[in-house]
Amino acid sequence: MASVMPRDLRGGRGGLTRISLKCDNAAVTRMVAALDVGGTTIKAALLDEQLQPKAALRAETARGADGTALAAQTADIVAALAEQAGTGQPAAVGVVVPGIVDEQTRVCHFSANLDWREVPFGELLEDRLGLPVAFGHDVTAGGIAEFRVGAGRGATNAAFIPVGTGIAAALLLDGRIHRAHGQAGEVGHIDVGHPGRCGCGATGCLEAISSAAAIARRYTERTGRPADGAREVVELARRGDEVAVTVVQDALDGLGHGIRTLLTLLGPEVIVLGGGLFTAADYVLEPVREWLAAHLTFQKMPELRIAELGDEAGRLGAGLLAFDLLGN
């Protein structure tokens, strides 16, 4: 099984699930176009059934409140990918965006990054392309990829928590992705008991103390020195900068609190941690584990794993959603 997987997906437990690895007699491999749309950048690829990219490109996200500009841009990207790969149209297209997205109705209810409210993007894009379109949430899709072909392989109850500019989670409950029409997984807004304000308007949110953005902001607030992201603050902490040590410790304590709440409610046996903060896993993972070991009472200690797919997770997840639409 491992030999058919992309090199960067190898090296873990289990293997691909729910993707047909067989070619038919005509040896035709189905392709899908997969797009991970962020507030500023789109990462797109044409993927085969082994999730190998046959073409890839990046583009600046087209803005527009009704989604038509992004639909037009997506059509151009799909055509460009097919041309780059020398293939025909893909069999389906998967697009994932940040925000509150209902995968079933294919409506994005809200996206701060795209400035969208109630955009029926799936239908809009399908009308434009004349191809089947899967439309989902970027973190959920990233979780689907990590659970099936990344660090979460083999788990039936798991959470994927990327800690980047914000914090959200993808949830696998009894082997199924928990979607709740896009309303689930907003762990960044669990109250972890600090006095700081969150962008959502509440105080005490996990995201306001533990996100990569919060770490950089809190370091700058305390020192007056700009920090180029959480990575730099973690480096300063590693070298003994006392303010950096405190800010990073606050962030990791916050994550411990948040994860404890998640464990208490949902009991995941595996937690996959990713995003910008956990690129420094050697420094930040052990304190989270220690916090949990010291503070869990009856809850079972989860296995903490580091995400394997990096910033490819969203795009691979978009591809998996598109293949799911086609069925095996």
Q: Are 95 and 44 in contact (CB under 8 A)?
A: no
How far is it, in rounded angstroms, from Cα 230 to Cα 164?
A: 9
CB closer to Zn ion out of 205 and 309: 205
Displacement of CA 34 from its chain's centroid (Å): 14
Residue 257 is a binding residue for Zn ion (CB under 5 A): no
User: Comparing C-alpha atoms, which of 214, 185, 219 is closest to residue 197?
Assistant: 214
CB closer to Zn ion out of 166 and 268: 166
CB closer to Zn ion out of 90 and 185: 185
Q: Would you state the structure tokens that stand for residue 4, as one six-digit string?
A: 């058919």
Could you say which of 189, 217, 218, 315 contacts Zn ion (CB under 5 A)? 189
Q: Would you state the structure tokens that stand for residue 144, as one six-digit string?
A: 């689907």
How far is it, in rounded angstroms, from Cα 140 to Cα 98?
A: 10
Report the nearest approach of Zn ion to the CB of residue 297 (Å).
Answer: 26
The amino acid present at 259, given as its one-letter code, is: I
- The runs of H, that is alpha helices, within 105-241 are 121-129, 138-149, 207-210, 212-223, 229-238
Q: Which H/E stretch holds residue 324? A: helix 313-326
CB closer to Zn ion out of 16 and 168: 168
Report the nearest approach of Zn ion to the CB of residue 188 (Å).
Answer: 6
Q: Which stretch binds Zn ion (CB under 5 A): 124-132, 187-195, 269-277, 316-324?
A: 187-195
Q: Are 206 and 188 in contact (CB under 8 A)?
A: yes
Residue 214 is a binding residue for Zn ion (CB under 5 A): no
The interface with Zn ion within residues 95-154 (CB under 5 A) comprises: none
Paired strand residues for 162: 274
Report the nearest approach of Zn ion to the CB of residue 203 (Å).
Answer: 8
Report the 10 Å Cβ neighbour count for 16.
19
The interface with Zn ion within residues 191-210 (CB under 5 A) comprises: 198, 200, 202, 205
CB closer to Zn ion out of 153 and 194: 194
Report the nearest approach of Zn ion to the CB of residue 213 (Å).
Answer: 13
CB closer to Zn ion out of 199 and 229: 199
Which residue ranges make up the site for Zn ion (CB under 5 A)? Answer: 189, 198, 200, 202, 205
